[in-house]
Amino acid sequence: MKKLLLATLVAAASIGAAQADGPSVYGKINVSVDNTKSDLNQNRVTTVDSNASRFGIKGNEKLTDNLSAVYGIEWGVAIDNNSNNSKPSINNNTDTSATGTTYDLAARNRFIGLQYEGLGTLKFGRLDTNVKTLQYVNPAQGVDVADDFVNGSFDSTQTLAGENRINNVIALESAKFDTGYGVFSANFLVSPSEKTVAKNAVGNTGSTATSTSIIYANKDAGLYTGVAYDVNVASVWNAANTFAFATKAPITSVNNPFASASNNTDLFRWVGSVDLGKLAGADGLTLNGLYQQAKLSDKNAAGFAGSSPKENGYLVSAIYKFPASILDGLSAKAQWESATTKSLGNNISDVKIDQVTVDLDYAFSAKTKVYGFWAQRTLKNPNNVGTIAVPLPNAGQDSNYKYSGFGLGLEQKF
């Protein structure tokens, strides 16, 4: 009788395991010691930084042979108990910065949904837009190889518009369809504004946001590419916001209409990644590229009368993994990125950000690495207006401002 009972319990446990995957805990801890310098104050500062450290819980529950429930929830954490995380805004559908405040357990992606095998997944929650996730067309490595340095100070979010995570999302993710010449997939999400807006209102009216992407991957040939398009997604135009970077003080719409952190934006992005080891026999070398163009969703937005602002952005990066004969686990990375905003109106000239980054990694294993980096961002501010509270040197003359840094870090995934 006892043997029969034991066999029954083992069988029941096996059935339960087959029907569910998770919940499982995952995450990463990334901490670095960094030294940065700003031309504005001519001072160097050394900091210990937590760089997009996070943990999460995810899993699925099999409901039928083809249908499963899926879920996940993720938090950002400040390992050094000092770095600023982003906290969700209660006023719109995008993040705002918790500047000057340690905000641990910051909301990252979280969702619940249903997945039908061979067809796709329906999700509800808070998610990255498809423009943002497009940089991972090559699942082995995102095209932004400067991601997260100095608590995100050299992340592409500081240069390019479009790096957004939004609330109130309904998302559709297709299954991957193999054509024999590569694999295609498509993604769509919509974020209802959940706002009551006055009739004929202009500016950030809280209109429904959408984000769409189409991705092609050919692993055998080492080719990955995709396009994505955001509509009405609140986004920061950092190239136009050069004034804010230079002065580190609030900017009025008189001097810079982009002082607002939530300009509703339509944005097109293309991303490509080529593994030259598979394509051309250059083992270990991967080249990546990104191009994007952004424009205001509402041409009548307050502060932009008579102008049609556009941001053109570019990113080129390379990754070289050294052969085991030299040092297994060693890789070198380099990246250049640029964004220029034109047609600003209000007698504001074109403004531009350029950034160069180099990085050397050594991976002890698939989950543990050490790294060192150097980066420099140039803020080209031809207007140089400053503010009344913080007047800039040589106001009214063309000026460039540089922000540079280097550091050593350790990352552990789990």
What was the pLDDT predicted at 262?
64
Looking at residue 314, its amino acid is: Y
- Phi/psi of residue 278, nearest 5 degrees: -85, -35
Q: What angle do CA 137, 138, 142 make, to 5 degrees?
A: 85
Output the average pLDDT for the chain. 81
What b/e sequence results for 195-228 when a residue is b if at least 16 CB atoms lie within 10 Å of its CB, and e otherwise? eeeeeeeebbbbbebbbbbbbbbbeeebbbbbbb
Q: For 302-354, what is each residue's pLDDT tens digit?
A: 555 556 778 999 999 999 999 999 999 999 999 999 998 876 655 556 778 89
Distance CA 334, CA 318 (A): 5
Q: Could you tell me the CA-to-CA distances from 410 to 34, 75, 331, 413 in Å, in that order?
A: 12, 20, 15, 10
**Beta strands in 322-398, from DSSP E residues, in sequence order:** 330-342, 351-363, 368-381
In this prediction the pTM is 0.83
Q: Taking the alpha carbons of 45, 46, 52, 57 in that order, is the dihedral positive or negative?
A: negative
In the chain, what percentage of residues exceed pLDDT 90?
57
pLDDT level of residue 39 (50, 70, 90 thresholds)? confident
What was the pLDDT predicted at 382?
62
What b/e sequence results for 324-355 when a residue is b if at least 16 CB atoms lie within 10 Å of its CB, and e otherwise? eeeeebebebebebbbbbbebeeebeebbbbb
**pLDDT surpasses 70 at 28:** yes
**Which of helix, strand or coil describes residue 43?**
coil
Please give the helix or strand (H or E) that residue 346 lies within, else none.
Answer: none
Distance CA 316, CA 2 (A): 66
CA nearest neighbour of 273 among 161, 152, 144? 144
Q: How far is CA 248 from the centre of its chain?
A: 23
* Residues across the chain: 414
CA nearest neighbour of 347 among 260, 254, 241? 254
Residues 228-255: what's their mean pLDDT? 65
End-to-end CA distance of the chain: 42
CA nearest neighbour of 247 among 393, 57, 405, 45? 393
Q: How many CB atoms lie within 10 A of CB 274?
A: 20
Structural contact between residues 399 and 254, judged by C-beta atoms closer than 8 angstroms:
no
Q: For 115-141, what is each residue's pLDDT tens digit?
A: 999 999 999 999 999 999 999 999 988
Least confident interval from 214-223, 236-245, 283-292, 389-398: 389-398
Which among 47-51, 195-199, 202-206, 269-273 has the top mean pLDDT? 269-273
Q: For 89-122, what is each residue's pLDDT tens digit?
A: 322 333 333 333 455 789 999 999 999 999 999 9
What was the pLDDT predicted at 152?
86
What was the pLDDT predicted at 310?
86
Structural contact between residues 221 and 278, judged by C-beta atoms closer than 8 angstroms:
yes
CA nearest neighbour of 402 among 339, 358, 352? 352
What CA dihedral angle connects 215, 22, 128 and 317, to 10 degrees?
Answer: -60
pLDDT level of residue 20 (50, 70, 90 thresholds)? low
Q: Which residues contact 123 (CB under 8 A, 6 or more apart)?
A: 70, 111, 112, 113, 169, 170, 171, 172, 173
Please tell me which residue, 352 or 231, carries the higher pLDDT value: 231
What was the pLDDT predicted at 202?
46
Q: From 1.10.10.10, 3.40.220.10, 2.40.160.10, 3.40.50.920, which CATH number describes the 2-413 domain?
A: 2.40.160.10
- H helical segments located in 252-395: 276-280, 324-327
Q: Could you tell me the CA-to-CA distances from 170 to 114, 173, 193, 238 in Å, in that order?
A: 12, 10, 12, 28
Distance CA 176, CA 163 (A): 24
